[in-house]
Amino acid sequence: MAKLSGFNPAQTSKLQADIERAKKLAMKCNNRLIMHQDGSLAREIGLLLEDTFGISGADRGQVSQIADRFFSFRGRMDTVKMTFTTQNSSNQNTMGHSAFVNFKLGGLGGHGNEILVTASYFQNGDLERAGTLIHEHIHLVNGVPGHPPHNTALKFFQRTKIGIDFRDAFFNPYCYQYFAEWLP
């Protein structure tokens, strides 16, 4: 289980439940991306891949790369440190997010396996909190800040095409978060 630091008992309990929920959601994403025996994906998963990653799902290599990142979530979350922080000002590093990975200019620095969580995280709904943990996991996997191809943090209130080419979407934490949150 992740090491939790600085949380009150209610937050600790909620975060532990969120981690388990996110593990199940990441595994569900991985399992839904596994190809059928004939090499095809379920139609709704193919459409979701088009919306989130800009691919049809026909390329097994691309789908496998995405599935592997979801699959790695469980193991990573067993080793990650999660720390409560009051730091949540809009700045280059956190952009006002409810949870974030602390990067130093030029890449990862000092927090290679730590997710910082603010009080506002706990105000979100269950699915959004689980999606946020998946999002931050992708930041840890990438080892660099940002949301390629642009450093934007768009929040979609309904399912839509994100409109990012796969070469950028593969590294964009929002693509994984929205895939997980929009998964049927």
Domain ranges of the chain: 3-86+103-182
Q: Domain 3-86+103-182: which topology?
A: Collagenase (Catalytic Domain) (3.40.390)
Percent of the chain with pLDDT over 70: 86
Mean pLDDT of the chain: 87
What is the average per-residue pLDDT within 170-180? 95
Q: What pLDDT does 176 receive?
A: 97
8/2: higher pLDDT: 8
Strand partners, 4: 82
pTM over 0.85: yes
pLDDT in tens, 101-136: 887 654 444 447 899 999 999 999 999 999 999 999
Q: Residue 74 pLDDT more than 90? A: yes
| One-character DSSP codes across 93-158 | TTTT-SEE--EETTEE-S-TTEEEE-GGGGGS-HHHHHHHHHHHHHHHHHTS---TTTT-----SS
Neighbours of 69 (CB within 10 A): 23
